[in-house]
Structure 1
Amino acid sequence: MCCACSRLSSLPPEPYESGATIDIPLDTHSTKDVKAKEKELKEKEAELKRREQFYSRIYFAFVLAAGIVIEEKNWPSFFPVIHNDIANEIPIHLQKIMYVAFATLIGLVVCLLYNAVAATAAWSKGYGLIIWLLAVIYILTGIPGGFYLWYSPLYKAARTDSALRFGTFFLGYSVHIAFCVLAAVAPGFFFREGSITGILAALVIFPNDRALGSLNNIALTTKLNCSNPISSKPKPCLIPGLKLQQVFMYFRGSGKAAEMKREAARRTMMSAL
């Protein structure tokens, strides 16, 4: 045993070269597998994109066939809050009616905002905070109410030529006309004094405070002019009545009245069944 150890220890050391390189064989099969998997993943991703485009085309084809319009908010352009594209979506023979209806809606917005200015001035004169709060409530309810009650139904009725949507417009616009009449007169039993600018409110405020009364008179004049955007003469609630008459004449002349009766009867029968 000792002789074997001495023989092993007497072996000369192996030569070592400082500049020599050591070749380590790489596994070429693993790199090929990684590249193959990457290629497979890219192919699957491209296939998923093709399927997504295919199904989206089918979806939009079904939407167009069903007459469903996807409404994107586009007005006003700097801060879109509603969808409004009269020139491209409304038939030519109804575009004039829709433009006047849109001008009436803008006039309603201007009237309510100016009314809030007059209520703020009255509040600063000591008429109480409640009238300013009521003026804000008129804005928060009147503007969305005008849009959803009558403008949006009229827009959709003109775009799709639906008889039932015309009926919805008539109901909503009747409420709008009633509000215009009450706001122009501003009776004390309906509106708190100073919360809305009207004939009676201006007559009560002007003897006590001429500056505030003058502001109410200006606001009332603005309200009357905005209620008739196509005329420079103040005619309170005339343009809503004319607008209602124009739509009603088209409604009757195009045979939509009879169509609405038939459609309502059919829906009633279907719901009963």
Structure 2
Amino acid sequence: DPSVTQVTRNVPPGLDEYNPFSDSRTPPPGNVKMPNVPSTQPAIMKPTEEPSSYTQIAKEHALAQAELLKRQEELERKAAELDRREREMQSLNQQGGRKNNWPPLPENFPVGPCFYQDFSVDIPVEFQKTVKIMYYLWMFHTVTLFLNIFGCLAWFYVDATRGVDFVLSILWFLLFTPCSFVCWYRPLYGAFRSDSSFRFFVFFFVYICQFAVHVLQAAGFQRWGNCGWISSLTGLNKSIPVGIMMIIIAALFTASAVISLVMFKKV
């Protein structure tokens, strides 16, 4: 019977035939979503910190190695210098000790040398240049004092009232030449030779006074026995040749003062 068949088809399925996961609705073909295909590229982890620079490490290592080589060469040089000085001292002791050699005087001279001076034996290599410059500075000032005598003599020749300056110029030459050598140069020489703090103290104290003397000599106050700038201008009014001669001596005194200040800072 058609009516019975229709009713039978419309009966809902029972609990035994029910599938909760089934979907009676069929999605349209256009709305079907394709599954996401995973990326085929390999995974790359980005580091949180930059990698260390190997070139920088190699450079620092090379600098450290170069510094070590430099120190080693310096130590070897000092050891060779000490060895050389020790051999020289032994040879001198075998010959009867060190003999004074300064000032260099003839053998038949009635007075012999008073000091022993040898930069290569007594002074370390790194200080030899400084001590030699100070020695040459002393010689330069001595020559300037000697020329100062002739400058004051010429001044006295054109101005008869300058006899006091001429006499004082001779006195300064005879006084400052040995005193400066004994009072500040020899303490400096001995200080670098034996690394003595007391000798350095004596040198600095006397050298400051010596620098003040250089400044006063460069100034050239009248009746002080110095052909400084003030005296040179006065002598220039009397005679142009004498004034030029005194100006040259004043320039030498000024150079002596400037070099003294530079070497004082260096020592």
Fold conserved between structures, TM > 0.5: yes
Which residue of structure 2 lines up, in the alignment, with residue 203 of structure 1? 233
| 1:70 shift after superposition | 5.7
Letter matched to residue 234 of structure 2: V
1:137 corresponds to which of 171, 174, 182: 171
Provide runs of 4+ in structure 1 moved above 6 Å: none
Which residue of structure 1 lines up, in the alignment, with residue 265 of structure 2? 245
Of 85-94 and 162-171, the range deviating more from structure 2:
85-94
**Distance (Å, rounded) in 1 between the aligned partners of 2:192 and 2:101:** 18
Aligned residues: 168
Which residue of structure 2 lines up, in the alignment, with residue 222 of structure 1? 252
Which residue of structure 2 lines up, in the alignment, with residue 18 of structure 1? none
Which residue of structure 1 lines up, in the alignment, with residue 140 of structure 2? 107
Structure index of larger Rg: 2
SS in 1 for 2:104: coil
Return 5+ residue gaps in structure 2 as ranges.
1-88
| 1:71 shift after superposition | 6.0
Structure 1 240/142 Cα, relative in aligned 2: closer, same or farther at 3 Å?
Answer: same
TM-score normalized with structure 2 length = 0.57
**Distance (Å, rounded) in 2 between the aligned partners of 1:91 and 1:121:** 45
2:194 corresponds to which of 154, 160, 163: 160
**Distance (Å, rounded) in 1 between the aligned partners of 2:153 and 2:114:** 26
Alignment RMSD (CA, Å): 2.4
Which residue of structure 1 lines up, in the alignment, with residue 100 of structure 2? 72
Letter matched to residue 241 of structure 1: L
**Distance (Å, rounded) in 1 between the aligned partners of 2:171 and 2:193:** 32
Letter matched to residue 75 of structure 1: P
| 1:215 shift after superposition | 1.2
| 1:82 shift after superposition | 4.4
Greater RCO, 1 or 2 (C-alpha within 8 Å, sep 6+):
1
The answer as to whether partners of 2:98 and 2:116 remain within 8 angstroms in 1 is no
**Distance (Å, rounded) in 1 between the aligned partners of 2:162 and 2:182:** 32
**Distance (Å, rounded) in 2 between the aligned partners of 1:151 and 1:212:** 33
Which residue of structure 2 lines up, in the alignment, with residue 151 of structure 1? 185
**Distance (Å, rounded) in 2 between the aligned partners of 1:209 and 1:135:** 20
1:95 corresponds to which of 128, 146, 169: 128
**Distance (Å, rounded) in 2 between the aligned partners of 1:71 and 1:155:** 17
CA offsets, 1:138-197, max 9 Å, x none? 011111121112101000111111111100100010011000111111234xxx16x211
SS in 2 for 1:239: helix
Letter matched to residue 213 of structure 1: G
2:217 corresponds to 1:183: yes
Alignment of 1:18-33 (within 5 A): none
Structure 1 131/238 Cα, relative in aligned 2: closer, same or farther at 3 Å?
Answer: closer
The answer as to whether partners of 2:215 and 2:254 remain within 8 angstroms in 1 is no
Which residue of structure 1 lines up, in the alignment, with residue 203 of structure 2? 169
**Distance (Å, rounded) in 1 between the aligned partners of 2:220 and 2:253:** 12
| 1:242 shift after superposition | 1.7
| 1:127 shift after superposition | 3.4
Return 5+ residue gaps in structure 1 as ranges.
1-59, 228-236, 248-273
2:161 corresponds to 1:127: yes
**Distance (Å, rounded) in 1 between the aligned partners of 2:247 and 2:163:** 21
| 1:223 shift after superposition | 3.0
Which residue of structure 2 lines up, in the alignment, with residue 83 of structure 1? 116
